[in-house]
Homo-oligomer: A and B are copies of this chain.
Amino acid sequence: MIKKTVADVSTALKGVEDGMTIMLGGFGLCGIPENAISELVRLGVKDLTCISNNAGVDDFGLGLLLQKRQINKMISSYVGENEEFERQMLSGELEVELTPQGTLAEKCRAAQAGFPAFYTPAGYGTEVSMGKETREFNGKMYVLEEAFKADFSLVKAWKGDEAGNLIFKGTARNFNPSMCGAAKITVAEVEELVPAGELDPNEIHIPGIFVSRIFQGKDYEKRIEQRTVRKRN
């Protein structure tokens, strides 16, 4: 068994530098690598390009990095919950590349799985396809999209073992699995880190081969963006 455990978030993020491209898992605030984001804030690295479906909220998630102006460019599909983001974007301080959500997921998966590019129908005929190759297959038009290239991938899982195997919970799974192994170095933080052999090999969502470093996360806030409930009868 190849051991991937590191002592803490600082060790896990060793090598992160100004100007790097970083993938971050999560959908909204669900399943985001909270510990790694805090460490990026602490490190103060800047001029980052961040690939993440959303941009957090003003005071949590990637919003924390936006506040400190650590992000130069965001590649996301939806950024509607963040006023500071909108301000920086409309003022031109922040470069934003909006990408259809399924395309974003597949650009990660392509990087993980060694596909240089793929054809998707999403965005055909829209400004998203401007400057990109388009092509017809079986009477339908597709856009050629390229795999992402990133330095670090920061993901969050529910359980993980020493070998780097990961299991996600509920919809906190989202982009995390496809980002594993999609960057030069993949760092996974988990709510529960267990010895190798404790996870059922059949139930593993992402094999450890896609994970470079894994650490036991702490103090998860798991903030809820839209607390919707119903009354008991």
**A interface, CB within 8 angstroms of B:** 114-121, 137-138, 140, 142, 146, 167-170, 201-203
In contact, B202 and A169 (Cβ under 8 angstroms): yes
What's the minimum C-beta distance from A80 to chain B, rounded to whole angstroms? 26
> Residue of B at shortest CB range from A147?
B137
Q: Which residues of B contact A116 (CB under 8 A)?
A: 119, 137-138, 140, 142
A167 to B168 Cα, complex, angstroms: 16
Mind listing 15 A-B residue pairs with CB under 8 Å? A114-B121, A115-B118, A115-B119, A115-B120, A116-B119, A116-B138, A116-B142, A117-B119, A118-B118, A118-B119, A167-B202, A169-B202, A170-B201, A170-B202, A203-B203
A120 to B115 Cα, complex, angstroms: 6
Q: How many copies does the complex hold?
A: 2
Q: Which residues of B contact A203 (CB under 8 A)?
A: 203
A223 to B42 Cα, complex, angstroms: 58
Q: Which residues of B contact A169 (CB under 8 A)?
A: 202
Q: Which residues of B contact A137 (CB under 8 A)?
A: 116-117, 146
A168 to B137 Cα, complex, angstroms: 33
Q: Which residues of B contact A140 (CB under 8 A)?
A: 116
What's the minimum C-beta distance from A175 to chain B, rounded to whole angstroms? 16
A176 to B178 Cα, complex, angstroms: 20
